[in-house]
Amino acid sequence: MAQDTSTDIPLKVLIAGGGISGLTAALGLRQQGHDVTVFERTDLAKEFGAAIHIGPNGHGILKNLGVFPEELGANQFEKLAEYDAQGELKNLVDLLSLDVWPNKWVGCHRVALHEKIKEKAIALDGPGIPVTVKTGSLVVDVDPESATVVLDDGSKYTGDIVLGADGVSSNTRKIVVGPDIKPRGSGKSLFRFMIPREAIQKNPRIAHFAQYNGCMSSWHGEVCRLVMYPCVNNTLMNIGAIHPSYLSPAKGEGWDQEASKEKLLEVFGAFGPQVKEMLDLVDSSTLKVWSLLDMERIPRWYRGRLALLGDAAHPFMPSCVAMEDAASIAALLPRGTSKDDIPERLALYQSIRDERAHRIQASTRNSGRDLSEEEKRQFDCWSPSSRCFFYVLTPLQGRTPFNTTLITMSGRILQRSSKNISNTGTAPKFRSTVHHVWN
Ligand SMILES: Cc1cc2nc3c(=O)[nH]c(=O)nc-3n(C[C@H](O)[C@H](O)[C@H](O)COP(=O)(O)OP(=O)(O)OC[C@H]3O[C@@H](n4cnc5c(N)ncnc54)[C@H](O)[C@@H]3O)c2cc1C
């Protein structure tokens, strides 16, 4: 009887885009034993980006892949501090006493994380076949039926499956869902910059803003809000200054739109003197403004042998959702998956990711919304209408949903699991936003 040797044949996986989702998928698929090539349009030499926070979901995925954010200077979140626009402390929550997540919630320098994932993916040692990363390779077309990638120089590569991880302005999305679904401004923009923690601590009028290690702090005005957290072993503060886009028109969709300190201080002009003193520490040359994007739900995640992941599928989400996509696709394609199994696996991928990703998207939209004064007065995180839910998915560990944790920035904490719902928090009236951490 002829022996089926298909289980010994690695899949040939082609990935468009070498960002966090593309490289995480590449690393996971390498570890599953597949032969992976990543096409990245840039030379990956001038990576930039400030910090990203990695929720317990992302942290668990990275650990499973052998990437340990703490080794990159990522610091665990230990506290949440909430201030009003004048800089008066409204709530302080001790996160370490909670002990509710299976993995840590950390702040990490994005470039260090991206570099480490790439390093592990292409390393000559380690399990599987080292990933090939072809830089300077702009993917201009994909034939989803034959899994063929076409680059801008006309060269073609054919594999068994293509992953579209080409970010917010994705070309591959157009192939899967057509040209009409594209990102649009959400109405909010973000100034982003880093300040050495020491610079804040040296000024006695504002030192208290940086007194705690691993503190996720926020300052809430009527329509503007600041979020600050440390990375690089608590030495560098990452600040995002969220505001209505019409106050600082950005020119494009990228993360690197130049901005001025004058504009930042003007937009946050109604904030208290200490808050503005802290903002004044920014080095203008590092200040960027970015328009926060939103996009309607994609009706499908794959076509033929081409599947989308990360920002290509759902911009305006925490980057851990992109890591979840990557981990899911790797988990669904173990070594031994035959080429013929791919369409069925991609259908499964879509059914796994679609509901969760879009629930998170809805939840992110909800938390980004400014509440009216009446809504602030009425706010009750226990109310189902607050829609503040978190879902567990740790695909590589095969855990089942649903064990969830919610922390509101009002200092209220909701722990919810399949068995019980318990309230361990205080209940002040002040509430401007809800912070989401996915287990
Ligand atoms: C430069 C940069 C800085 C960022 N900084 C932050 C930050 O400070 N904080 C934060 O929370 N998030 C940041 N993000 C976003 C965050 O990394 C992503 O939202 C998230 O990780 C999802 O990643 P992704 O891989 O889907 O998309 P991206 O990280 O956007 O990666 C997409 C990759 O695809 C490449 N690409 C695009 N089109 C093509 C094509 N046609 N052919 C080949 N390659 C292509 C891009 O060059 C890029 O490397 C940043 C993203 C970028 C690109």
Which residues neighbour 72 within 8 Å (Cβ) at sequence distance 6 or greater?
A: 108, 109, 112, 113, 116
- Look at residue 15 in the predicted model and tell me its pLDDT: 98
With respect to residue 73, please indicate whether it lies within any of the assigned structural domains: no
- Look at residue 220 in the predicted model and tell me its pLDDT: 84
Tens place of pLDDT for every residue, the chain, 439 residues?
Answer: 344 445 679 999 999 999 999 999 999 999 999 999 999 999 886 656 689 989 888 999 999 999 999 999 999 999 888 888 999 987 777 777 665 667 888 999 999 999 999 999 999 999 999 999 999 999 999 999 999 999 999 999 999 999 999 999 999 999 999 999 999 888 889 899 999 999 999 999 999 999 999 999 989 888 899 999 999 999 999 999 999 999 987 655 565 667 789 999 999 999 999 999 999 999 888 888 888 888 889 999 999 999 999 999 998 666 788 999 999 999 999 999 999 999 999 999 999 899 888 877 776 676 666 656 665 555 444 343 433 333 222 222 333 333 334 444 444 444 443 333 333 333 333 333 334 454 4
Same domain, 193 and 315: no
Same domain, 276 and 315: no
DSSP 62-120: HHHTT--GGGGT-EE--EEEEEETT--EEEEEESTTT---SS--EEEEHHHHHHHHHHH
Same domain, 205 and 141: no
CA 29 to the chain's CA centroid:
20
With respect to residue 199, please indicate whether it lies within any of the assigned structural domains: yes
Same domain, 192 and 239: yes
Q: Whose CA is nearest to atom 6 of ligand 1?
A: 49
Q: Is the dihedral of CA 382, 384, 388, 391 positive or negative?
A: positive
Q: Extract the tokens encoding 146.
A: 């034959």
- Residue after which a domain boundary falls, among 273, 294, 315: 294
With respect to residue 71, please indicate whether it lies within any of the assigned structural domains: no
Same domain, 250 and 327: no
Rounded distance, CA 15 to CA 369, Å? 34
Rounded distance, CA 337 to CA 342, Å? 8
- Look at residue 409 in the predicted model and tell me its pLDDT: 40
CATH at 167: 3.50.50.60
With respect to residue 82, please indicate whether it lies within any of the assigned structural domains: no
- Residue after which a domain boundary falls, among 294, 326, 347: 294
Q: Is 311 in the pocket of ligand 1 (CB under 6 A)?
A: yes
Cα–Cα separations (whole angstroms), residue 279 to 167, 192, 273:
30, 11, 10
Q: Whose CA is nearest to atom 14 of ligand 1?
A: 49
Same domain, 330 and 243: no
Same domain, 349 and 202: no
Number of structural domains the chain divides into = 2
- Look at residue 80 in the predicted model and tell me its pLDDT: 82
Query: Pick from 431, 427, 299, 315: which is nearest to 365 by CA?
Result: 315
Q: Is 151 in the pocket of ligand 1 (CB under 6 A)?
A: no
Same domain, 220 and 334: no
- Residue after which a domain boundary falls, among 358, 381, 410: 358
Same domain, 303 and 216: no
With respect to residue 407, please indicate whether it lies within any of the assigned structural domains: no
Q: Is 42 in the pocket of ligand 1 (CB under 6 A)?
A: yes
- Look at residue 425 in the predicted model and tell me its pLDDT: 39
Q: Whose CA is nearest to atom 41 of ligand 1?
A: 139
- Look at residue 421 in the predicted model and tell me its pLDDT: 33
Same domain, 248 and 282: yes
| Beta pairing, strands 89-94 & 79-84 | antiparallel
Q: Is 166 in the pocket of ligand 1 (CB under 6 A)?
A: yes
Q: If you measure from the C-alpha of residue 224 to the centroid of ligand 1, how many angstroms do you get, rounded to a whole number? A: 25
Same domain, 350 and 332: yes
Same domain, 152 and 239: no
- Look at residue 347 in the predicted model and tell me its pLDDT: 95
If DSSP codes are grouped into helix, strand and coil, which group holds residue 194? Answer: strand
- Look at residue 294 in the predicted model and tell me its pLDDT: 85
Q: Which residues of 384-406 are buried (b: 16+ CB within 10 A; e: fewer)?
A: eebebbbbbbbbbeeeeeebbbb
With respect to residue 306, please indicate whether it lies within any of the assigned structural domains: yes
With respect to residue 278, please indicate whether it lies within any of the assigned structural domains: yes
If DSSP codes are grouped into helix, strand and coil, which group holds residue 193? Answer: strand
Q: Is 322 in the pocket of ligand 1 (CB under 6 A)?
A: yes
Rounded to a whole number of angstroms, the CA Rg of the chain reads 22
Q: If you measure from the C-alpha of residue 312 to the centroid of ligand 1, how many angstroms do you get, rounded to a whole number? A: 9
With respect to residue 392, please indicate whether it lies within any of the assigned structural domains: no
- Domain encompassing residue 203: 185-294
CATH at 216: 3.30.9.30
Q: Is 57 in the pocket of ligand 1 (CB under 6 A)?
A: no
If DSSP codes are grouped into helix, strand and coil, which group holds residue 229? Answer: strand
